Amino acid sequence: MNRHSHSRPRAATGGSVQKRSLAALNTTAGSRQRRGPAALIAAADSPHRQTPAALIGTACSLQRRALTLIATAAMAGCASSGATFGYGLPSPPDAVYQVSETVEVEMDAPGGLWRVQGGYSMTLDMSFETDTVGIRVGGIAESFQGSLSDPIGDFDSPRGTVEFKANRGGVVHVESFPRISGMAARELSLAGLAYDIFPRMPGDSVGQGDTWQDEVIWHTDQMEAEFHNVADYTYTLMGDTVVAGRELVHIAVAADLSIWTAWGGAGNLSMRRVKGPLTGFILWDPERGLVAYHEYGTEVEGTVTKDEQSFDARMARRVRIRLN
């Protein structure tokens, strides 16, 4: 059973999200943003062509590596005048995205530290058509590679397609998403994929420094695990940037994130409750009316409860989505 809330945009309130170091998997958002969007994309380009196991091993070194870029990036003093930020039917009405995610989960169990890490990469072949609410979007996951460390190991390609409807502001209704199965479904879910590809946009012209907010809530319950995810987002328009000769708009992303996960049957039920910050950035392509690049990291912590015992738990994730 899946239950997705409608994404609810809210007026900007300002403020900041505190970043706490939790795992070596993620670098701090501040240092990443200072490198500039083009450098970040170049650093992420190599992991997209590697296996998930290699992704984990190179994630940190890639963030620190000095790269010689063919693409140049220069932040301008203001956002493109007259540019609008809303979704419509793109031309051509199709797109291909490269999606990857890395995850590291830790729990202070009675027998010692329990840790699992790994991730996946895939290609998402997408099509668009007009709909009464705006557009209807469909996507097929291809070239999937996924692996987590023991005891989970490699896992199969997700089943199903992503199908959702969107208006100018973003996702209105999610109809389906690819499902990860087996033990990997306890640590990874694609239920929020539509919101990552179509994050909230203001729909109208905005200027440098302007902010807008959104609340995204999704819930999914399948045989292996049940997830409930709540994220309160703040988006800030940073300015223009040029990547490989293409004019894009840099948008900073910050959120407060809360995740509840449950797995196991009666008499063997485990529940994990974690919360913490999400930080990242979006590169918006005003010509195509699509997100050209979206990257974010989360570092959350909380507890796992089982048999009336509670253990400290931590989770670090990094998601990268790139338009071909």
Residue 275 counted as domain residue: yes
Q: Is the pLDDT of residue 31 over 70?
A: no
Residue 63 counted as domain residue: yes
Q: Please indicate, yes or no, whether the overall pTM of this predicted structure exceeds 0.85.
A: no
Question: What domain range includes position 211?
Answer: 2-10+24-323
Residue 247 to residue 199: CA distance in whole angstroms:
19
For residue 210, the 8-state DSSP code is -
Our count of domains for the chain comes to 1
Q: Is the pLDDT of residue 30 over 50?
A: no
Name the CA dihedral angle for 7, 102, 18, 42, rounded to a multiple of 10 degrees: -100
Residue 19 counted as domain residue: no
Residue 220 counted as domain residue: yes
Q: Is the pLDDT of residue 49 over 50?
A: no
Predicted confidence band of residue 52 (pLDDT cuts 50, 70, 90): very low
- Region 168-193 average pLDDT: 94
- Region 113-125 average pLDDT: 95
Residue 3: the pLDDT is: 52
Pair 242, 72: CB distance under 8 Å: yes
Percent residues over pLDDT 70 in the chain: 74
Predicted confidence band of residue 48 (pLDDT cuts 50, 70, 90): very low
220 strand-pairing partners:
2, 227
Residue 265 counted as domain residue: yes
Residue 16 counted as domain residue: no
Q: Is the pLDDT of residue 57 over 50?
A: no
Residue 17 counted as domain residue: no
